[in-house]
Chains A and B, each alone.
Chain A
Amino acid sequence: MGIVMSLRNWRLSILLYIFQLTLLLSIGLQVYHVIDSSIGTSLETIIISKGFDYTIFHDLINVHGSSISPLIGQLRWLFVLYLLLSAFVNAGVIFVLEKRTTIKEGFWRGSTSYFFRFLIIGLLFFFGLIIWSLIIWIPYFTQLFYFVEHWVAEYLIIWLLIGLIIIYFLGCAFLFCWSLNTRIILIRSGIGIFKSLVNALRFSLKNISTFLGVMLIYAIIIGGIYWLNFILEWGIGMSTPFLIMSFLLFQQFVVLLKIAVRVATYSSFIAIKH
């Protein structure tokens, strides 16, 4: 159901992709500029065009590190901007999907009228994520030395880690489910943030297995896309200009697909309500 809806809404995915690319393209361009100005006329460019070379990148960072650090600083504020943009864009997307309007009719309306409320919800859940992360990881990492020095069965340390990772991601999945349902209910019922949060929690818990099932399917699809990307890149290699361009385009297609999967997830969640 969600997949069908998202295919129908392919324009939405492309729109989101363009938003995202516009914001982040500068990073790619700047990386190009940094590499070009530091080793752009060196014979080493031929080596990196054919494969990876640790020494070339090490020397580049070692010698030209100062031109990379502003880029890392920039990533920080770019990420904040990205979060704001996400809240804005997601409001539009969920509005269009929920109200079954066209993009023209609904996207701008949804984005502008729900942006602030979505931003607050997003920040609340972001805060929740931080707390969840602390709950899971602080005890483990503060006790890690103790475990290592006292546990004869050291494999328990690794299995505990794996167990915690699974629990952590389940928690994250639930947070996602809860946050998405909060927004859907908010748009649908026109009630306040707090009420939406409570209703969404009740609703998410009631249908937890369905929601987790949907998320699992989409997680597998995304995992598959990544896997395909790695297998192709690893197997064929980005070693000629043609292959490099092909893979770069393919990677952008992967990004677009991931966005489409996200739109499909939204659609599916809306469909479950119906």
Chain B
Amino acid sequence: MVRVIFFTIICFFSLANSYSQDLLCDPSTGEAHSQRLCNYVMDLVLDTDKKLVHGVQKIEWINNGDVEVNHLELYMYLNAFKDVHSSYISGSVNNVMGQDLSDRKLEMWGSIVINSIKQKGVSNELNKYYIQNLDNNEKDQTVLRVDLVDPVQPGDTLYLETEFVSKLPKTIARVGYAENNFHFFVHWYPKLGVYEQNPDGIWGWNCHQFLQRMEFYGEFGNYDVTITADPKFVVGGSGCRTQIVDHPNGLRSHHFEAFDVIDFAWTAYPDFVVYEDSFLGIDIELLSPDHHSALVPRLIGAVKNSIEFLDEHIGVYPYPKITVMDPPALGMRSGFMEYPTFITGGSFYGFPKGVKSLESLIIHEFCHQYFMGILATNEKEAPWLDEGFVTFLEDEIMESYYGKDNSLVNFMGYTVSNSAMSRNEYVSLKNKRSSHITNKSWLIKGDYKGIVYAKTATVLQSLKRIMGEESFYDFLSQYFNTYKFTHPNKEDFMGTLNGYLRMNFGSGMSEKINSLLEQALDKTAICDFSTSPIRYNDSNSDSVYSSVVIEQLGDFVAPVEIVFQFEDDSKLLKEWDGKGGSKEFTFITNSRLRSVQVDPERKIFFDIDFNNNSYTSTPAKSGLFKYAGRALFWTQNIFQSLSFLM
């Protein structure tokens, strides 16, 4: 039963109007889940006229490496939206996520400026300058290097104090302000990169410039954030709201705490209605404009389904709360995204019931909590470990709660499922070889989403079908629980998989899957099994000679199951190792071979054409009549209607 509590946003009668205590929650997650290497305390004042916050920040960072650290690298990502010269914008001023920014007014751009940065106990300002570690665009100011006066020894803690101003742009790529005082602060504060060993074992900062198509990477820690704003604003953010204080000057402070997270995002908008619910001990807070009220059960239902499925199949959601922001249409550009314990949807008034993309999106963003948030893989260097897994789980959750074959669309007998949609997104790529899945985000050419999201999801779907559902989730939960809060990479994933396969299936299966994944993930091999027509020779009256050739039209080499069905209804299952490009199967039997089907269970889900996987001597022509007849019917109807004035 959904318990929905409606809160009046503006109280005309009392200055003491305040949030119900229900809106507060305890941020503690029991024992520390992560190493909490990078902790922030931030005190912010929101200036809604100028669309900026003044921030005072204290950063506590532990050097977990084995060498002295004498400089820091900080993400200053709001500067990507400073002008047309940043690396993010400069290549595509006319089309940044569908927006033309070429003649933007000055006040519509954003920026982040550090007015003061000091090491605790050191009175001197630290020397700082922007660096460009991916391109040589000197005008790009998205990564700041800060030289320390007092180096940090291995195991020691750095205490840093900054004062900064973050000015929001009119929304670009989600961050920004919109009409009616809508504010959305994401990747908005001076934030440390991740100090870690590179593949050669050398310690250093992983802190890339901000480029298009690139997502984020951050270190785990605790956030203590106080946001002071006009009380007319409904404020929501990562973590838990632990305190609300009304000041004599008429402003209100919202105190948030979030433990073991890699980032902190927040929003302020006067016309949000706050809906509260809880499920499996997790508080759910939904911020949604009041004219979306009809969608609330759908949004909250999608969150609950995600929590339940992931809890059962992958692992426990370790935080006390999830906040969902369903932006008003005017803030739509801020939707469709994930931040730790804070996700955003994308809906509008009257969103049709038969289209489940509303739920699918919320489920997608919630799944990010596990991959972007808890595993916290490097989304820049290995985007597939996040987006690909999330898309796969989105498909799985949708199909398990909203219908196996009709999870996404179910309209008058026309149905589309999520996994079919993901596969089709991959197989209809014009260039399926533009990049391999495991490429770094900024090196991926071609259709980013088709490769990173859809193809990965399709490969994982294949892995699930080959391993069997139970084993697959057993393995996936092992991977998740082994590496949560540690930034795993591809080697960690493959290591867990191979260990699991060897233990449960033997080394043969491990080799088979390794070969398959190598071709699917690290290469751009294409898989397209096909079968020839069946040839017969009935010259001998006692027995029939039937023969068929199975061919791999692509360059993928994978073993595959083939089902042969005879006219006496007997069936034969054979496996072809997929080597040599093709193989002829011949039978001398009493009964003629009626049909042949390659990969009958569609285990190799990334096969780019399933229609050529089978041949039958007795096809159902009535199916062809049906659709030809329908095409005729609709042509007649449309022509009739369009010619009404003739």
By a beta-carbon cutoff of 8 Å, the part of chain A in contact with chain B is 20-21, 24-25, 27-29, 31-32, 35-36, 38-52, 54-56, 58-60, 62-63, 75, 79, 82-83, 86-87, 90, 118, 122, 125-126, 128-129, 148-155, 157-158, 172, 175-176, 179, 230, 233-234, 237-238, 240-241, 244-245, 247-248, 251-252, 254-255, 258-259, 262
Q: For the complex formed, measure the closest distance between the CB of A43 and the CB atoms of chain B, giving whole angstroms.
A: 4
Taking the complex as formed, is B179 at the interface, i.e. its CB lies under 8 A from any CB of chain A? yes
Contact with A along B602-623 (1 / 0, CB 8 A): 0000001111111111011111
Chain A interface: which of B81-89, B388-396, B412-420, B500-508? B412-420
* Top 9 A-B pairs, shortest CB-CB distance: A49-B623, A28-B632, A32-B628, A86-B646, A43-B614, A49-B620, A248-B629, A48-B623, A154-B329
* Known contacts A42-B614, A59-B611, A24 near B625 by CB under 8 Å: no
The answer to whether A28 touches B615, judged by C-beta atoms less than 8 angstroms apart, is no
Given that A43-B597, A152-B180 are known contacts, is A126 also in contact with B645, CB under 8 Å in the complex? yes
Q: In the complex, what residue of chain A is closest to B563 when comparing beta carbons? A: A43
Given contacts A48-B627, A54-B417, A122-B646, whether A25 and B619 have CB atoms under 8 Å apart is no
| A28-B629, A154-B328, A234-B413 known; A41 vs B616 contact (CB < 8 Å) | yes
**B residues in contact with A237, CB < 8 Å:** 413
Taking CB as reference atom, which chain A residue is nearest B642? A79
Closest to B421 in A: A54
- List 18 A-B pairs, Cβ < 8 Å: A24-B632, A24-B635, A28-B628, A29-B628, A35-B628, A41-B533, A44-B614, A45-B621, A47-B623, A49-B620, A54-B424, A55-B420, A55-B423, A60-B611, A83-B643, A152-B330, A154-B349, A176-B644
Cβ of B428 < 8 Å from any Cβ of A? yes
Residue of B nearest to A156 (CB): B349
Q: Are A40 and B619 in contact (CB under 8 A)?
A: yes
Find chain B residues with CB under 8 A from A29 CB: 628
With both chains docked as a complex, state the minimum distance between the C-beta of A126 and any C-beta of chain B, in angstroms.
Answer: 6
The count of residues in chain B whose C-beta lies closer than 8 Å to any C-beta of chain A is: 63
Measured in the bound complex, the distance between the Cα atoms of B620 and A241 in whole Å is 9
What is the bound-complex CA distance between A240 and B595, given in angstroms?
Answer: 20
Question: Is A248 touching B626 in the complex (CB atoms < 8 A)?
Answer: yes
The one of A31, A86, A118, A125 in contact with B627, judged by C-beta atoms closer than 8 angstroms, is A31
Measured CB to CB, the closest approach of chain A to B303, in angstroms, equals: 22
**Residue contact A255 to B633, C-beta cutoff 8 Å:** yes
Q: Please report the C-alpha to C-alpha distance between residue A41 and residue B332 in the assembled complex, in whole angstroms.
A: 47
The 8 Å CB contact of B349, one of A158, A244, A251, is A158
**Main secondary structure on A side of the interface with B:** helix
Shortest beta-carbon distance, A88 to chain B, in Å? 9
Interface string of B413-439 (1 = CB under 8 A from A): 111110011011001100000000000
Complex Cα gap A251–B639 (Å)? 15
Interchain CA distance A41-B298 in the complex, whole Å: 43
Query: Given A28-B628, A36-B624, do A20 and B636 touch, yes or no (CB 8 Å)?
Result: yes
- Cα–Cα distance between A234 and B563 once the two chains are bound (Å): 33
Q: Does B637 contact A (CB under 8 A)?
A: yes
**Within 8 Å CB of B423, what residues of A?**
55
Contacts A149-B330, A153-B291, A234-B413; A41 near B619 (Cβ below 8 A): yes
User: Which of chain B's residues 3-55 have a Cβ closer than 8 Å to chain A?
Assistant: none
- Measured between C-beta atoms, what is the minimum distance from B115 to chain A in Å? 32
> Inside 8 A of B624's CB, which chain A residues have their CB?
32, 35-36, 40, 45, 48
Compute how far the CA of A155 lies from the CA of B493 in the bound complex, rounded to whole angstroms.
46
Q: Which residue of A lies closest to B350 (CB)?
A: A158
Contact with A along B177-196 (1 / 0, CB 8 A): 01110000000000000000
- Of A32, A86, A118, the contact of B643 (CB 8 Å cutoff): A86
B146 to chain A, nearest CB (A): 38
Q: Which residues of A contact B417 (CB under 8 A)?
A: 54
Given contacts A43-B616, A48-B623, A55-B424, 8 further A-B contacts (CB under 8 A): A29-B628, A35-B627, A46-B623, A54-B420, A54-B421, A79-B639, A152-B179, A245-B625
Choose one: A52, A129, A153; the contact of B415 (CB below 8 Å). Answer: A52
